Amino acid sequence: MNESDRTEPQYYLNRELSELAYQERVLNEGTDKRNPPLERLRFLAFFTKNTDEFFMKRVGGLEQQISAGVTVTTSDGRTPSEQLHDITDAARPLFRRQDTYWQTELKPELADVGIAICEYDDLNRGQRGQLRTYFEESVLPILTPLAFDPAHPFPFISNLSLSLAVLSTEAGEDTTFTRIKIPPNQPRLVDVLDTSEQYVLIEDLIEANLDMLLPGLDILDVSKFRVTRNAEVRRNEEVAEDLVDIIEDVLEQRRFATVVRLEVDADMPDESVSILTEHLDIGDHEVFHREGPIDYEDFFTLLELERPNLKLPSWTPQPHPRLLPQAGDSRNETTTTIFDEIRAGDILVHHPYHAFDGTVQRFLDAAANDPGVLAVKAAIYRTASDSKVIQSLIDAADNGKQVAVMVELKARFDEKNNLEWVRRLEEEGIHVAYGTVGLKTHTKTALVVRREEDGVQLYSHVGTGNYHSKTAKGYSDLGLLTADRGVGQDLTKVFNFFTGPTLDERFQKLLIAPVTMRERFTEMVCREADHARAGRRARIVVKVNGLEDPKMVEELYRASMAGVEIDLIVRDICRLRPGLEGVSENITVHSIVGRFLEHARIFYFENAGDPDWYIGSADWMTRNLDYRVEAVTPVEATRLRNQLRFVLAASLTDNRRRWVMQSDGSYEQVIPGDEPVRDIQEILMAATDAALERDYGPGMEVDTDLIEEDFLIEPSHDKVDFPSVK
């Protein structure tokens, strides 16, 4: 690979196909019999949720480009039209695999253990009679049949709504098409009334009782369908007067956006398909015939069944060893304790291993109620619908603190929720910033200003995940609680940017996008290359959700060619091709898919034995580095660095949840063979318990009897033995 050809298309994978490859790994968890049946069902439901968003965002964006006549190629050499064609070819077999596995494997397996999704016709007469009564009393009054004929226009079909397409005739007259929307405010899984854990799908119940909804008609066919609409609708922020108006307009436009996918029953007749494609203005390539139920996402409700033998063992997030509540403490003594503890030494929290309520939420509660706190500032990208975080900020304002909140209104699919929080905060008299023109604010940061005996102290939280109590139980995220004054002063500048006119580009410790982060990361990658050329220790380990930015890929290629050993733990999108002779032979790309969504970002640079460690909100994607406000913080305490070493070691030696990318972009799952199973998430759960039991101090730190420090940063392709946590 010469200096001039590093940007050639053959060195880059396609972003969209890489994301679909990740969804295939999610789907694999839904078909892997090492997972108990309800865990597999959870992944099938996640596959539906994820691919719905993929079509709304990514396919929607491509179709906009095609409509606008865009022919510019991506780094991998594809035009928008070519990408759309390749996406369709890649997605169809995934949907077929999902449907086939459900129908032939998982549905019968669940039925064998008493959880049955029944065919209506297979029920006995008494059951059908009970369900017919339920339909007449509880479902029929909600339904609204919408006919399409010369007297009725074609009905509007809302995004992701499940519908019945009915072809009927009356006394030999012309065929009529009727759309019946499945009511989203009714349970999709209807209990078979005299049994437990047996259900019929509501669409099947409606179909079986159409004579009550469409009396006197001859029903020729009933088929199910669902449309997916484009979510990529935007307005020019530069000319808009009010960001709130922009978001409200975007939400309204999404309701009527173009259709990018039509899912139909596999046996839907051509007449119904033709009516739908014509009036939805889509082509054959946008039609997906489904053999299984259209939309698996409602199956999430089955996970609530009390069937522990059909699930993974439950996990309850644990207290952080440095933040254990003290028996008999008053609220004031407890809040004082957390600030004293942070000032005594930085604290690294790891969700869902550490409880959100006992760490980040406790920090914000303390800020709201401690009499010494003068100000509280927080950046909210996503938060729970019943957010205690928001309530803490309101409490802080009620208690006389200065409170400033940055709420990102452009957080995709959370716009409506965030608008509601903005209004609630403003009603409480809290100053709210909505975001910045041309940028999304993606930082996960909070700042507390506190008066103490020796002056005003700054306490900071810099994290990789949202201030969201629900996702903190299912996403793997890191956060640093620190009294480091440099970090606090940097955050002060960031929050001043949210509410003020400009961003100060001088920072002491934090890497801030879009002003310093790209440059600093590039410098550190180049520095490792220089060390390798000089024969010094050179090593890079990066854990991110996505690696899409072509410039960062190019720099990693340069570092590999210089001899730097590089491990990239990339959950989903990765455009870099590892293992190319003379280019990326020193790079290994890993992906981990487990019960918790891997969401933490960790950056390690060996630096000839004087390493740099960082965590923060940014992936190595162009949007994060150039078009979002992001914050990444150094981790300097040795004990905390050892915790991060442990996380990376467990990741690089996982033989249960880890996949390794091949040079062609495909992935192979690591299989334990004769070795003990090493599951990073199980190891971290065990290590969290061990930290509490053995009083190691910060969670997940282990002593040298369990793990040697030198082992922790060895290249992953060197054979090593990873000791289990006893």
pLDDT tens sequence across 439-450: 888 999 999 999
> Is residue 370's pLDDT more than 90?
yes
- Return d(Cα 237, Cα 438) in angstroms, integer: 7
Query: Is residue 257 predicted with pLDDT exceeding 80?
Result: no
Residue 236 has which token pair? 């020019």
The 10s digit of each residue's pLDDT in 7-52 is: 799 999 999 999 999 999 999 999 999 999 999 999 999 999 999 9
What pLDDT is recorded for position 654? 94
Q: What is the pLDDT of residue 705?
A: 39
Is residue 698 reached through a cis peptide bond, with omega within 30 degrees of 0 on the bond before it? no
With 90 as the cut, is the pLDDT of residue 151 above it? Answer: no
527's enclosing H/E stretch is helix 517-533
Topology, domain 3-304? polyphosphate kinase like (3.30.1840)
* pTM for this prediction: 0.91
Domain(s) of CATH 3.30.1840.10: residues in the chain:
3-304
Query: Does the structure show a pLDDT above 60 at 718?
Result: no
Average of per-residue pLDDT across 182-206: 92
Torsion-angle region of 532 (φ positive above 0: left; ψ -120 to 50: alpha; else: beta): alpha
Delimiting residues of CATH 3.30.870.10 domain(s) in the chain: 321-499, 511-713
pLDDT at 256: 53
**Can you tell me the distance from the alpha carbon of 55 to that of 38, in angstroms, rounded to the nearest whole number?**
26
Instruction: Place 332 in a pLDDT band, splitting at 50, 70 and 90.
Output: very low
- Determine the pLDDT at residue 65: 87
Q: Are strands 287-290 and 259-265 parallel, antiparallel or unpaired?
A: parallel
Write down the pLDDT at residue 320.
93
Residues 6+ apart with CB under 8 A from 384: 468, 469, 470
Distance CA 511, CA 661 (A): 29
Domain range 511-713, CATH architecture: 2-Layer Sandwich (3.30)
Q: What's the pLDDT at 331?
A: 41
What is the spatial distance between Cα 135 and Cα 42, in angstroms, rounded to a whole number?
Answer: 28
The answer on pLDDT for 240 being more than 50 is no
CA distance 571 to 25: 10
pLDDT at residue 414 greater than cutoff 70: no
Percentage of the chain beyond pLDDT 90 is 74
pLDDT over 60 at 716, yes or no: no
pLDDT over threshold 70, residue 582? yes
Span 412-429, mean pLDDT?
A: 72
**pLDDT attached to residue 178:** 96
- The residue that leads in pLDDT, 116 or 422, is 116
Per-residue pLDDT, 233 = 56
Residues 638-679: tens digit of each pLDDT: 999 999 999 999 999 999 999 999 999 999 999 999 999 999
More confident residue, 234 or 356: 356
Residue type, 720: V
Residues recognised as catalytic: 442
Instruction: Dump pLDDT digits (tens) for 45-71.
Output: 999 999 999 999 899 889 888 888 989
Task: Give, in degrees to the nearest 5, the angle at Cα 630 between 624 and 631.
Answer: 135
* Weakest mean pLDDT among 113-117, 144-148, 251-255, 302-306: 251-255
Alpha-helical segments (H) within 135-262: 202-208, 210-213, 243-255
CB contact at 8 A, 146 and 156: no
Question: Residue 18 carries which side chain, given as an amino acid letter?
Answer: S
Q: What is the DSSP string of 491-509?
A: HHHHHHHHHSS------SS
Query: What is the CATH class of 321-499?
Result: alpha beta
